[in-house]
Chains A and B, each alone.
Chain A
Amino acid sequence: MSFFEQYGTFAILVVLGCLLYALIMVVSRVMRPSVPSPQKLTTYECGVPAEGTGWTQVNIRYYVFAFLFVIFDVEAIFLFPWAVIVGGLDATTPVSPMFAVVAMFLFIGTLLEGLAYAWKKGVLRWD
């Protein structure tokens, strides 16, 4: 099937969907009785009345925690391939095992510094 044939099917589906939607709306508009009342304009016609505003703020600390989590999550992604490779290193490979270990610890140390900074700034305290 060619490129346009595939998308042609999809286009027909989209057009049919739009037509169906229009048809249903028109039919219901023609057939239903119209009895407006203020009650019908409230947010929830049933259940408890809505209170307060829709504007609530999520605690900013969630954001910082998520951030720190993502940093170390990504670090783990880098650690896995490194761990697979570092076992196969010896004196004959272009990179010595010592070099690989030092390099990875430099990387982890850099990330840890970020954590230490956040800690010192009191980000990890909840209250």
Chain B
Amino acid sequence: MFLAQATEPLEIPEVAWSSFAPELALTAAALVLLLIAIAKGRQQLVAVPAAVVSLAAGIWLVTQQLVVPGGVAIALGLALPALVFAFPRRGSLVQAWGAGLALVGALVLTGWQYLTVLEGGGTEVATIVPQAALAGALANDGIAFFTRITVYLTGLLVVPIGYGYLQDRRINRAEVEPLLLLAVVGMAALGTANDLITLFVALEVLSLALYVLAGLARRDRRSQEASLKYFVLGAVASAILLYGMALTYVASGELALPAIGSSLGLVTTDRVVATLGLALITVGLGFKVALVPFHLWTPDVYQGSPTNVTAFMAAATKAAGFAAILRLYLVAFPGLQGLWVPVLAVLAALTMLYGAYLALVQRDLKRMLAYSSITHAGYATIGVVAVSDAGLSGTLWYLLTYAVSTLGAFACVIAIERTRGGEVGLLELRGLGRTSPAIAGILSLCLLSLAGLPPTAGFVGKLVVFQAGVQAGLTWLVVIGVLSSVVAAFFYLRIAGTMFLEDADPALPLPAASSGLTVGTAVSAALVVFLGIQPQLFLQVADSAAALVR
């Protein structure tokens, strides 16, 4: 009987491989890097066959008129044996360079997607033509595209920033880069996911990788604590989210987000069950981006994790989480707008005030940055509750500016931590502006950007989000946002003051930067200034990102 069924015409979804080409490339890179990690002395045995496969795939793609993906595959295929040949016995260098090149390849593929797949019309400002792929499981639209840029850029910067730090702490295990790549894939997929199942799987992929990365320093009790707390609380949040998704499915009978959206607009749909599902989903996603009642894990996890992982978590997880929030609320739950807009607005207000208030009294730099990241989740939420195209593109743009600023700040923390070991308190920053002006200057720049002062990226980010809030009539929320920015500016500026106005303690060792750290920090600082002075380029992209698959 089963065989008889099998002869019927199969319904196989059209697979548009181009719609997830960057993720595909990164997954393959992660698998190959993991194989290289376990092939101790015989790395060429892995590198050469992988290169041959990659070259063959690349040449085949080029013959199919897909020059850019083919070129990326050929370049990565050639780079791999070259790396193994160039760095014999330096496995971690091969891993770091391999991961970095794979992320560059993913960025190139993202640009290619934008230029050939998404862009429509030959006007001056490119408009994104949204499209669904894989039978509606993926949405290639503005949110997906912009999340990819933010997440891949963050990953690309974190690899060089963390390289020297991991070696210093002797936690440069070969699994770091593959896990990082997998986390990045999960985040990009979270921005692309257009049905509940894909969304949940993407969330789990990124979470599982991050749980392991948080506990990277196995011998460090704080790292153990961070990993365990993140894992246990994250598992609970995932379960709550899953329950919410189940209830949403019960109410609407649909898994695809646009279908849920149209179903919830009908009168026949059970609104009570849908509301319950919405509430549980809010809890689950609020946990991931650390909105206030669900933020309790953030300080401990951010403080305990290795600093480069903290930087990655703060910058990239937030971008991915908000991508999911934007898509869920704007595509699947516009029918319940009267319910979630006030709730999220109150959560945003609480988040901004509470995060800024608690950051005031922190003495540890990493912990302070953790509370500051909570505050910034509040600002980004303003763009969500604005429920407008301006708010949507504002949130995406805000997350990009926040990512580069916080990466720069954490990179400076790494530079200070490297020689001083352990935690960096406020007192230890005294006089840093005189002893090592470069690091103090970049740290101040990034903190000013986090505070939202011109001419940095953070200023433009806040401006765009607040504008969207005012346009949507949420003036009270924007006033609270400005108030909390003022409070936040105090503790950011206090750090700058400690560094430049007080005398140095001669007993303290000077911070030291490795070459990778220097490059990563310089690029983030340059981006902070560039996005602050010349925001038009990316703002245009963000503006056209408001085109959604609905």
A residues with a Cβ closer than 8 A to B are 84-85, 87-89, 93-95, 110, 113, 116-117, 120-121
Q: Which residue of B lies closest to A88 (CB)?
A: B6
Interface residue B3 (Cβ < 8 Å from any Cβ of A): yes
Supply 25 A–B pairs (Cβ within 8 Å), ascending by A. Answer: A84-B2, A84-B3, A84-B6, A85-B6, A87-B6, A88-B3, A88-B6, A88-B7, A88-B10, A89-B10, A93-B9, A93-B10, A94-B10, A94-B12, A95-B10, A95-B12, A110-B31, A113-B31, A113-B34, A113-B35, A117-B34, A117-B37, A117-B38, A120-B38, A121-B38
| Residue numbers in B under 8 Å from A95 (CB-CB) | 10, 12
Q: Are A116 and B38 in contact (CB under 8 A)?
A: yes
Most buried by A among B2, B9, B12: B12
Q: Which chain B residues in 30-59 approach chain A with CB under 8 Å?
A: 31, 34-35, 37-38
Q: Which residues of B contact A110 (CB under 8 A)?
A: 31
Q: Given the interface contacts A113-B35, A117-B38, does A87 sit within 8 Å of B3 by beta carbon?
A: yes
CA distance A12 to B117 in the complex (A): 63
> Which residues from A are CB-within-8-Å of B34?
113, 117
Q: Which residue of A lies closest to B34 (CB)?
A: A117
Q: Which residues of B have CB within 8 Å of A88?
A: 3, 6-7, 10
The CA-CA distance from A49 to B12 in the complex, in Å, is 65
- Chain B residues near A120: list those with CB within 8 A: 38
Residues of B within 8 A of A113 (CB): 31, 34-35
What is the bound-complex CA distance between A121 and B6, given in angstroms?
42
* B10 / chain A contacts, CB cutoff of 8 Å: 85, 88-89, 93-95
- Interface positions, chain B 5-21, Cβ under 8 Å from A, are 6-7, 9-10, 12
What separation, in Å, do the CA atoms of A87 and B10 have in the docked complex?
A: 12
Chain B positions within 8 Å of A89 at CB level: 10
Contacts of B31 in A (CB 8 A): 110, 113
Q: How many residue pairs between the two chains, A and B, have CB atoms under 8 Å in the bound complex?
A: 30
User: Who on chain B is nearest to A83 by CB?
Assistant: B6
Cβ–Cβ < 8 Å partners of A85 in chain B: 6, 10
Q: How far is the CA of A84 from the CA of B6 in the complex (A)?
A: 7
Residue among A89, A94, A110 with the most chain B CB within 10 A? A94
Closest Cβ neighbor of B35 among chain A residues: A113
Residues of A within 8 A of B6 (CB): 84-85, 87-88
Instruction: Give the top 4 A-B pairs by smallest Cβ distance, nearest first.
Output: A120-B38, A88-B6, A88-B7, A94-B12
Contact partners of A94 in chain B: CB under 8 A: 10, 12
Tell me the minimal C-beta distance from A108 to chain B in angstroms. Answer: 13
Q: Which residue of B lies closest to A89 (CB)?
A: B10
Q: Which residues of A contact B38 (CB under 8 A)?
A: 116-117, 120-121
CB closest residue in chain A, given B11: A94
B210 to chain A, nearest CB (A): 19
Nearest B-chain residue to A103, judged by Cβ: B15
The distance in angstroms between the C-alpha atoms of A69 and B504, with both chains bound, is 58
- Report the Cα distance A117→B34, complex, angstroms: 8
Q: How far is the CA of A100 from the CA of B7 in the complex (A)?
A: 15
Q: With the chains together, A89 CA to B3 CA distance in Å?
A: 12
Please report the C-alpha to C-alpha distance between residue A84 and residue B7 in the assembled complex, in whole angstroms.
Answer: 10
Q: CA of A109 to CA of B3 in the docked complex: distance in angstroms?
A: 27
Q: Nearest B residue to A109 by beta-carbon distance?
A: B31
Nearest-Cβ distance from residue A5 to partner chain B, whole angstroms: 20
B11 to chain A, nearest CB (A): 9
Q: How many Å lie between the Cα of A113 and that of B38 in the bound state?
A: 10
Which residue of chain A has the shortest Cβ distance to B175 in the bound complex? A117
Known contacts A84-B3, A94-B12, A113-B31, then 20 further A-B pairs from the complex at CB < 8 Å, ordered by chain A residue: A84-B2, A84-B6, A85-B6, A87-B3, A88-B3, A88-B6, A88-B7, A88-B10, A89-B10, A93-B12, A94-B10, A95-B12, A110-B31, A113-B35, A116-B35, A116-B38, A117-B34, A117-B37, A117-B38, A120-B38
**In this complex, which of B3, B6, B7 has the most chain A Cβ atoms within 10 angstroms of its Cβ?**
B6
Query: Using Cβ atoms and an 8 Å threshold, which residues of chain A touch B2?
Result: 84
- A114 CB to nearest chain B CB (Å): 9
Chain B min CB distance to A8 (Å)? 21
Bound complex: CA A100 to CA B6 (Å): 14
Closest residue on chain B to residue A80 by CB atoms: B2
Smallest CB gap from A95: residue in B: B12
- Chain B residues within an 8 Å CB radius of A93: 9-10, 12
- Give A29 to B3 CA distance when docked, in angstroms: 68
Instruction: Report how far A110 CA is from B34 CA in the complex, Å.
Output: 11
Distance between A119 CB and nearest chain B CB, rounded to angstroms? 8
- Complex CA–CA separation, A64 to B7 (angstroms): 40
- Give Cα distance in the complex from A88 to B12, angstroms: 13
Instruction: Give min CB distance, A102 to chain B, whole Å.
Output: 12
Kindly report which residue of chain A lies nearest to residue B8, judged by CB atoms.
A88
List chain A residues, Cβ under 8 A from B37: 117
In the bound complex, how far is the Cα of B35 from the Cα of A85, in angstroms?
32
**Interchain nearest-CB distance for B467 vs A (Å):** 46
- Closest residue of chain A to B10, judged by CB? A93
Closest to B14 in A: A94
The residue in chain B whose Cβ has the minimal distance to the Cβ of A86 is B6
A101 to chain B, nearest CB (A): 15
> Residue of B at shortest CB range from A94?
B12
A38 smallest CB distance to B (angstroms): 40
Distance from A104 Cβ to chain B, minimum over Cβ atoms (Å): 14
Closest chain A CB from B254 CB (angstroms) = 23
**How many angstroms from the CA of A100 to the CA of B38 in the assembled complex?**
29
Q: Bound state CA distance, A95 and B34, in angstroms? A: 31
How long is the Cα–Cα vector from A84 to B8 in the complex, in angstroms? Answer: 12
Chain B residue nearest to A92 (CB atoms) is B9
Give the residues in chain B near A121, CB-CB below 8 Å: 38
**Could you tell me the distance between the alpha carbons of A90 and B530 in the complex, rounded to whole angstroms?**
56
Q: How far in angstroms is the closest Cβ of chain B from A54?
A: 22
